[in-house]
Structure formats: C-alpha cells, structure tokens
Structure 1
Amino acid sequence: MGGMSRRSTQPRRAASGSAAPCPCGLPAPYRDCCGRLHRGEAAAPTAELLMRSRFSAFSVGDAGYLLRTWHPSTRPPAVDLDRALRWTGLEILEVTGGSAFHTEGTVRFRARYTERGRAGEMEEHSRFTRHAGAWVYVGAL
C-alpha cells in the first residue's frame, strides 16, 4: 500500500484504543489483531495479514510500521500520511501465494476512505516477498 500516503503526521492512537475494532476488518480488537504487529510483538505470518496490518497502520497513522515492513530496495526515505484522509474499510479481492510455505505473494485489494467529507476508494495489486525471514511490501504490480 505504497500509494496511500501523503503528508507527515504522528500516529493517531485515539482510533486504536485497546477494545476498538481492528481497521483491517478482521473480527478482533485492534490490540489483539494488527496492534500486536504494530507493537512488534508478532510478525505477519502471511502476505495477506501483512497487507491488512499495513492498511491498519495507515488507518492509525503508524508511519514507522509502514517503513519497517517495506522492502529495502523499494522503501522510500519517509512515509507522509495525510491527516485529511481517513481510511474506512478494506476488501481483499484476490490473494496468490503468500502463505507460510511461500516466499512471494500478491494481494489485490480495495481500500475505502473519506477525504474532507467525500468518500473515495483506491484499488491496488500489491507484491510481497520474504526478506530476512519476514513478509515485506515490495510495491504495486
């Protein structure tokens, strides 16, 4: 999800309270779902879960996590997050590879957002690979 960033911000932790639903859409509180990954307590076991955790990182404003989970060969020097953009939903459209048994995978998704009160969506087909044993985002196909 490289194209989702815009301007620098600090993480918006108010939306990521301990019992708040996880922005990624899975039926678990943020603290037990993507929050564990963002805090470094666990690593995403699949490319899809890494993609979901990156969407959540955009939602809560965690630029550090986005950079840590970006492949070094395509990682930008910084991630700028747009405070006017609010990520509101995620739909996984297609997954290829990316399991615990693969070294590469792709995830095609649709992300919904609101920007200054106007609804929008973006679609991306993302490529993931393992780097130093962990799933990382490479870029859009």
Structure 2
Amino acid sequence: MTAVGAALSAVIGSLMLIGATPAAAATVCNGWDGTVKGWFSVCREDVADGDEGGVSGYAERRLGGTTYARAEFRAKGEWWHLTNNTAHLVSVYRYVNGSIQPKVTIAAGKSESINSSYAEGAKVRVQVCVADRGCTVLDNLVA
C-alpha cells in the first residue's frame, strides 16, 4: 500500500466513528501543527467516572515530562479543570451539542476550574491550543 493509500485508509477509518455512540467509539485524539518539534497530543476518556451515561476525559498538548496544557472535563458535576504548565499562552475552546462556549485563556503556569451545568447526555468536545505550538481536540465526551 502506498503512503497516500495508507493515509486515505486512516481518514476513512476516522470518519466511520462519526455515527458511533460515545461508549462504543474509540478515543479520537486529533492534534495538529507538527512543525514545532517535540510537541504532541495526548487524550484519555473515562466512562467509569461515577456519572452514569457520562464520559469524562482530557486533551493535552504536551512537550514531554511536566510541560503540558490540559483541559479535563469531569461529567459528574460538569467540572472543567484547565492547566497550563507551559511557558506559553493557552486557549481552551469548549463545545456543547455543537455550540461553542466562551473561550478560556490561561496564562503560563496557571490553572483554573470551572463548574458548568449541561443537560444530561449533552455531547461535549474540547480543543486545547498552545500559542504557536499547535492544538489538540477530543470528541466523544458526554455530560
């Protein structure tokens, strides 16, 4: 298989997840801007979070060890925990049922927690961007 064929297969495989239910879907962690050497994306989902039907998780943009920006959504109580352990400005974009919520900007070395109120079963998406270091997106979260 050629490199183009392999890339096309990966894209088609990702698109097949669109109709899947959150519990059945694989964690899709999309990061971009590979031009900044060493930065990469890490995502995790947690369905055993104490909120029946909810799916918690986090998205990170990371440069090894302790240098990372993280947006964590906890379905139980609809809490957001945002952490910036980088030397750069971080922007967090939150979407609920496709509607964007107010952007949160976090200064270097800071963290913030936000308590939200979403309808049970609402679909949640998060995007974390480190200034000039790329972004990471995590779908499949559920309030």
TM-score of the pair, normalised by structure 1: 0.31
Bigger Rg, structure 1 or 2: 2
Which structure has the highest strand share of the two? 2
